[in-house]
Amino acid sequence: MKILVIGGGGREHALVWKLAQSPRATQMWCAPGNAGIAGETVAANGSAVECVGIGAEDLPALLEFAREQQIDLTVVGPDNPLAMGIVDQFQAAGLRVWGPTQQAAQFESSKIFSQEFMDRNGVPTMKSASFTAAAEARAFAASLDGKCAVKADGLALGKGVLICNTPDEANAAIDQIMTDRAFGDAGSSVLIQELITGMEVSLHALCDGKTAKLFPSSQDHKRALDGDQGLNTGGMGTYSPVPFLSDEKLNEIANAVLEPWLAGCAAEGIDFRGMLYPGIMLTDDGLKVLEFNARFGDPETQVYLPRLENDLVDLFEASIDGTLDQHELRWSDQSAVCVVIASGGYPGSYEKGKVITGIADADALPGVKVFHAGTKLDDGNVVNAGGRVLGVTALGQGLQAARDLAYEAAAKIQFEGAFTRSDIAAKAL
């Protein structure tokens, strides 16, 4: 089977690495990929995974490439091509593709669509309202005493969410998004949600239009610095499973979210085939869904796939074909921890092109896999090319062992300005 993976971050490296282990994979490409993906080989025949210089949002070029190469299965990693309708376009061209359609991807691409769906269908969530007029938005924010999240409706490269604690902050956020259009057209309407406090957990469920298969629990670390301080990032590290959530509790939480979500999809004619990734908050007042994503989390994927024992090609095919009910997900009982190594200055500006050393030494430790996120090859050297550079993932018998190993491996990797958080998974121990 010829497989094309779209995207070029840590999530896509993990997807390529796992798909390449399938006995069914014979040839693989990744567009655009990265230095780590270019080093992977297909297990069945040792052929190299080829990185293709096509951006994840260049839909016409991706379509042409998939047609020319007669790709049997295309797997879409990031949210933007999904929001742009890549799945609909590939399907219309008779190509097999994994991911939600443009309509189903609205769970992520429109925060207002998602929030109104939750309100209509009894998915537990926060008090919220959406606005196209700034004055009304300000009045609603004032009714929450300014303690709210102001979100640009559309996709804004993960940046369109402003957290406010006072009416002045809320008014400034509304102006920034709606009047100044800091996030472009994504801010033509805003969603305002009450702020809630609690423990944030990531859920993932693989869906086929009628069945949702729950993944184990995991937790991301969104802030740049230890102790959940500093600016929000794309995610500085993850671990799985989350020990304070028993399987029973996880199922209870999942049912409270997935049952009304599936029933709502059926009632409203939404055929979601892909990965549903709800971000949830466990509060004193019960669980609340903060948001839905319509793809694998990054870096959650980097801890899930090393623990997954199924053939991922089989699961993606079942998700496309509506036969997930015939599959049981099987997971290693080992824990996984992923520590992200970032470029100095991230999530602000940072320098690129710094030579990275020690990746092979880290990868050589048993139980360790270094996933590349923002890297490229430059004159034979691997250099940093993004804010999140590497995701050092370790498996261990128990979280402590996995965490110790991940940090031991990360310490072997160096480049100028590199930094990690030192407390990934610490709050679980």
Residues near ligand GLY (CB under 6 A) are 220, 235, 293, 297-298, 300
From residue 347, how far is each of 298, 309, 423 by CA, in Å? 15, 34, 18
Closer CB to ligand GLY, 95 or 389, in the complex: 389
Q: Where are the beta strands (DSSP E) in 16-109?
A: 27-32, 50-51, 73-76, 97-98
CB count within 10 Å of CB 61 equals 14
Residues 6+ apart with CB under 8 A from 393: 14, 302, 303, 306, 336, 337, 338, 339, 368, 369, 370, 371, 406
Angle between helices 111-121 and 247-268 (to 10 degrees): 100
| Total count of residues recorded for the chain | 429
Task: Name the residue number minimizing CB distance to ligand GLY.
Answer: 297
DSSP structure class, residue 166? S
- Taking the complex as a whole, the smallest distance from the CB of residue 420 to ligand GLY amounts, in Å, to 16
Closer CB to ligand GLY, 74 or 293, in the complex: 293
- Taking the complex as a whole, the smallest distance from the CB of residue 307 to ligand GLY amounts, in Å, to 17
Q: What whole-number distance in Å separates Cα of residue 66 and Cα of residue 72? A: 8
- Taking the complex as a whole, the smallest distance from the CB of residue 235 to ligand GLY amounts, in Å, to 4
Closer CB to ligand GLY, 130 or 219, in the complex: 219
Closer CB to ligand GLY, 298 or 317, in the complex: 298
Helix (H) or strand (E) holding 277: strand 273-283
Q: What whole-number distance in Å separates Cα of residue 140 and Cα of residue 194? A: 10
- Taking the complex as a whole, the smallest distance from the CB of residue 304 to ligand GLY amounts, in Å, to 11
DSSP structure class, residue 393? E
Closer CB to ligand GLY, 40 or 220, in the complex: 220
- Taking the complex as a whole, the smallest distance from the CB of residue 397 to ligand GLY amounts, in Å, to 25
Nearest CA-CA partner of 80 in 176, 181, 6, 30: 6
Closer CB to ligand GLY, 39 or 274, in the complex: 274
Closer CB to ligand GLY, 39 or 387, in the complex: 387
Q: Which amino acid is at 159?
A: K
Residues 6+ apart with CB under 8 A from 235: 220, 221, 222, 297, 298, 299, 300, 340, 388
Closer CB to ligand GLY, 138 or 221, in the complex: 221
Q: Which amino acid is at 213?
A: K
